[in-house]
């Protein structure tokens, strides 16, 4: 009998069944929302959407929101278009090149916050607005719930960004409330901000909002004109005229498409940093951490973004400003290429939508952007009050680690997870932890020990592990701790290798010895972080760089494209010809091999080898007779130091070097120098900086380098 209820689905495809299951999940979520919601207006919308989705399941039809409220976009130009027009209108009149970076960041922050802010309910606004304003706001609030907010919770409903479907009327209704809540939040958190962020949020951002407010409420502002086009800066007028007179095929308004690209996810400018200022921009970017993402949480939901008293820190993803090195290319050339690869009307084909080599964390990043998952750094505290939410998450993480790491004693896991000196990066989905990385940071030593790392079994193979580790890397770069260490068992080595870990530890043993916990049967692995990389955006940046290079190559090929007649010399019996004789090959960018070194006679080579051996022999004798050379004369005795060869994979000593010199092993000075420096490196790696061995290595190395320079075997630096 039960089968008759689903007989109409026997011929349905797998995609249709997956879509129906997704709607069923959304119906369950809305059912919970209806019973938890207390506001009558919001509850009414939830109830309508609940009934609508349930009807779609019965009729096996795609879900749509059929309400007498119109279809998006509801107003033109959109808020996104108006705000980007505002940036050009206010800041593009300067007599300099297009560079809006100082005002681009507040613009991005404002748009991002508006897209993720929880709006005030109509009932809460009735007390301080007129009946006409309340009625208009209720209509827009219902639209916002149906097309922007609820679709973030229900994947089956089409989602639209708030800034893309609403316009000036909506912005006027919410601007004052949004501005007040944002600035109040900034002032409340100013003591926790670094100086750069404090300057941006408390100085630049309020100024930006004040200037934007004038344009929002002004009836004569040009930024809300549907036909508004930003004017070219004076220095580009001549170039634009030149291209037009030269028969260029660029369409009219191409500069506008470059500077204000269409689409919801694009912003005002793409920064093209000249080579002269690239280093300064790079230094600026190191302290820049997606301010728009960190402050976009609604004050009504602040408990989910950070725990009380600073025991929980929210981490979110956002896009990093792209920086291009244009040392050998004009700014306009690179700008046109960037505009092309970001314009969906020009980038067509299956590779745009379906990447064959998608990054492991791509799906996880998409879920985070939709709000399905969150990342928080949380921990216990003995001196500050810990919120109930943080404590529940810690308990959930303890359960995740216990189930996924059965070899670890449960009491041991509990002790470390709740230890105030340890922190855990929690992966939260549906307000419960599904994975995490427990770690302890040794800031004075410059490294962090990763203690536990796990994702619950039914959420694995989704890219969560990679994205979680990338968030942890960004968190440590921000705190200037650039080394990870962990003991990985046989099942975890593969995962850590994919995350950039290696058995080749870059830290000296004396730095971490006695600090980290040793596990029997596990392998010590380490990872060195690059402070110039934003790891959560690394794969996207690499993909964008590849696209830019590909387009630049295509442009170069189109410029030099010329069809040459085929080679006919082979018909005449010629077996081979020099590559450089092929017509057009040099125009295509081919460069011949470097000129060969002059051929030396065997007698000359013999003389040079004897001269080098003589110099190296003298140098080695001087080093061996130095007062600081006594620890390095012979190989380390394993009976005296049993664990030495467990840590030193490539040992070296002066006796071995003497034997190699006699055997004519050192055919050049580089080999000799590599062996000698290995002696000093091994010593410093194994011994503590305060030991006599460590000091001898430093003194002897200094003496050796000076001698090498005196003999002309080492370049002066």
Domain ranges of the chain: 354-537, 604-710
Render pLDDT for 382-433 as a digit per residue (tens, 0 to 9): 888 889 999 999 999 999 999 988 888 899 999 999 999 999 999 999 888 9
Tokens of 660: 């190699």
CATH code: domain 604-710 is 1.20.920.10
- Of 108, 224, 211, the C-alpha closest to 170 is 224
Whether the Cβ atoms of residue 587 and residue 562 lie closer than 8 Å to each other: yes
Residue with token string 């089409």: 158
d(CA 621, CA 635): 17
| 449 flagged as catalytic | yes
Q: Which residue has the higher pLDDT, 243 or 664?
A: 664
pLDDT band at 594 (very low <50, low <70, confident <90, very high): confident
Is 623 in contact with 654 (CB distance < 8 Å)?
yes
Would strands 432-442 and 423-429 be described as parallel, antiparallel, or unpaired?
Answer: antiparallel
- Which contacts of 701-709 are long-range, i.e. CB under 8 A and separated by 24 or more positions? 701/677, 703/623, 703/626, 703/628, 704/619, 704/623, 704/676, 707/619, 707/622, 707/623, 708/619, 708/669, 708/673
Task: Calculate mean pLDDT across residues 528-533.
Answer: 90
How would you list the strands of the sheet with 523-528, edge to edge? 312-315, 373-378, 423-429, 432-442, 447-455, 483-488, 523-528
Locate tokens 């082979």: which residue?
570
33 and 46 Cβ atoms separated by less than 8 Å: yes
Q: Could you tell me if 138 and 122 are in contact, meaning their C-beta atoms sit under 8 angstroms apart?
A: yes
Is the Cβ–Cβ distance between 371 and 152 less than 8 Å? yes
Q: For 610-618, what is the mean pLDDT?
A: 88
pLDDT band at 486 (very low <50, low <70, confident <90, very high): very high
* 49-85 pLDDT per residue, tens: 888 888 887 777 777 776 566 788 888 889 998 888 8
- Minimal CA–CA distance to 434: which of 467, 401, 456? 456
Q: Is the pLDDT of residue 233 over 60?
A: no
- What tokens appear for 111 in the block? 């748009």
d(CA 196, CA 194): 6
Q: What is the pLDDT of residues 540-565, one digit of tens each?
A: 888 888 888 888 877 777 766 677 77
Q: What is the DSSP string of 73-116?
A: --SSS-HHHHHHHHHHHHHS-SSS-S--HHHHHHHHHHHHHHHH
What is the per-residue pLDDT across 282-339, written as a single tens digit (0 to 9) for each? 444 444 444 444 444 443 343 333 333 344 444 444 433 444 443 456 666 767 766 6
What's the pLDDT at 97? 39
Active-site choice (297, 368, 374, 449): 449
Contacts of 429 (CB under 8 A, 6+ apart): 372, 373, 374, 459
Cα separation of 342 and 25, whole Å?
34
Out of 3.40.190.10, 3.30.1490.190, 3.40.630.30, 3.40.920.10, the CATH code matching 354-537 is 3.40.630.30
The whole-angstrom separation of Cα 138 and Cα 50 is 19
Q: Are strands 447-455 and 483-488 parallel, antiparallel or unpaired?
A: parallel
What is residue 363's predicted lDDT score, i.e. its pLDDT? 81
Sequence-ordered list of residues with C-beta below 8 angstroms from that of 678, at least 6 positions apart, any chain: 650, 652
CA distance 186 to 119: 18
> Residue 359 — very low, low, confident or very high, per pLDDT cuts 50/70/90?
low
The Cα 497–Cα 501 span in angstroms is 5
Those residues with Cβ within 8 angstroms of residue 624's Cβ, 6 or more apart along the chain or in another chain: 633, 654, 658
CA atoms within 13 A on the CB side of 618: 10
pLDDT, mean of residues 135-147: 87
Of all residues in the chain, the percent with pLDDT exceeding 90 is 19
């Amino acid at each position: 009998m039960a089968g008759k209820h689903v007989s109409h689905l026997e011929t349905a495809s797998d995609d249709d069944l997956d879509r129906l299951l997704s709607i069923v999940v959304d119906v369950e979520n809305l059912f919970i929302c209806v019973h938890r919601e207390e506001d009558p207006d919001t509850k009414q919308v939830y109830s309508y959407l609940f009934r609508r989705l349930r009807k779609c399941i019965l009729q096996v039809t795609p879900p749509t929101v059929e309400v007498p409220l119109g279809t998006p976009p509801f107003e033109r130009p959109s808020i996104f278009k108006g705000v980007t027009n505002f940036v050009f209108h206010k800041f593009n009149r300067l007599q300099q090149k297009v560079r809006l970076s100082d005002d681009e960041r507040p613009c991005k922050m404002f748009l991002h916050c508006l897209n993720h802010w929880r709006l005030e309910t109509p009932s809460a606004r009735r007390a301080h607005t007129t009946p006409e304003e309340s009625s208009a706001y209720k209509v827009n609030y219902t639209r916002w719930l149906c097309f922007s907010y609820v679709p973030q919770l229900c994947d089956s409903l089409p989602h639209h960004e708030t800034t893309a479907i609403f316009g000036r009327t909506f912005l006027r209704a919410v601007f004052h409330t949004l501005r007040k809540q944002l600035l109040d939040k900034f002032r409340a958190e100013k003591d926790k901000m670094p100086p750069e962020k404090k300057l941006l949020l408390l100085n630049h951002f309020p100024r930006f909002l004040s200037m934007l407010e004038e344009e929002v409420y002004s009836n004569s502002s040009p930024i809300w004109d549907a036909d508004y086009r930003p004017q070219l800066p004076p220095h580009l007028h001549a170039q634009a005229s030149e291209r037009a007179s030269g028969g260029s095929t660029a369409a009219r308004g191409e500069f506008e498409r470059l500077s204000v690209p269409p689409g919801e996810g694009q912003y005002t400018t793409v920064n093209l940093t000249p080579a002269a200022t690239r280093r300064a921009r790079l230094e600026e970017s190191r302290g820049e951490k997606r301010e728009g993402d960190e402050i976009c949480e609604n004050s009504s939901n602040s408990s989910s973004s950070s725990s009380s008293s600073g025991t929980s820190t929210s981490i979110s993803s956002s896009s990093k400003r792209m920086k291009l090195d244009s040392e050998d290319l004009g700014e306009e050339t690179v700008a046109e290429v960037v505009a092309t690869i970001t314009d969906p009307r020009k980038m067509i084909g299956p590779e745009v939508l379906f990447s064959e080599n998608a990054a492991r964390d791509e799906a996880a990043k998409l879920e985070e952007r939709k709000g399905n998952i969150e990342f928080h750094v949380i921990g216990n505290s003995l001196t500050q009050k810990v919120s109930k939410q943080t404590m529940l998450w810690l308990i959930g993480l303890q359960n995740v680690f216990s189930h996924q790491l059965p070899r670890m004693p449960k009491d041991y896991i509990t002790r470390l997870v709740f230890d105030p000196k340890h922190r855990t990066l929690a992966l939260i989905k549906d307000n419960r932890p599904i994975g995490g990385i427990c770690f302890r940071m040794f800031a004075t030593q410059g490294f962090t020990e990763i203690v536990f790392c796990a994702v619950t079994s039914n959420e694995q193979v989704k890219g969560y592990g990679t994205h979680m580790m990338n968030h942890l890397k960004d968190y440590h770069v921000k705190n200037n701790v650039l080394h990870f260490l962990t003991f990985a068992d046989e099942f975890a080595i593969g995962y850590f290798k994919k995350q950039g870990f290696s058995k080749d530890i870059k830290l000296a043993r004396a730095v971490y010895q006695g600090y980290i916990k040793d596990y029997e049967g596990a392998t010590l692995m380490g990872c060195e972080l690059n402070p110039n990389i934003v790891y959560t955006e690394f794969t996207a940046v690499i993909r964008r760089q590849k696209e830019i290079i590909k387009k630049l190559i295509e442009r170069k090929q189109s410029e030099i494209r010329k069809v040459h007649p085929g080679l006919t010399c082979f018909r005449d019996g010629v077996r081979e010809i020099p590559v450089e004789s092929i017509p057009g090959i040099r125009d295509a960018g081919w460069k011949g091999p470097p000129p060969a070194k002059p051929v030396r006679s065997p007698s000359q080579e013999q003389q040079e080898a004897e001269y080098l051996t003589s110099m190296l022999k003298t140098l080695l004798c001087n080093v061996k007779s130095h007062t600081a050379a006594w620890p390095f004369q012979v190989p380390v005795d394993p009976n005296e130091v049993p664990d030495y060869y467990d840590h030193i994979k490539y040992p070296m000593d002066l006796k071995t070097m003497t034997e190699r010199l006699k055997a004519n092993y050192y055919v050049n000075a580089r080999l000799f120098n590599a062996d000698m420096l290995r002696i000093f490196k091994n010593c410093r790696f194994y011994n503590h900086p305060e030991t006599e061995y460590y000091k001898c290595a430093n003194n002897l190395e200094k003496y050796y380098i000076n001698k090498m320079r005196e003999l002309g075997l080492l370049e002066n630096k």
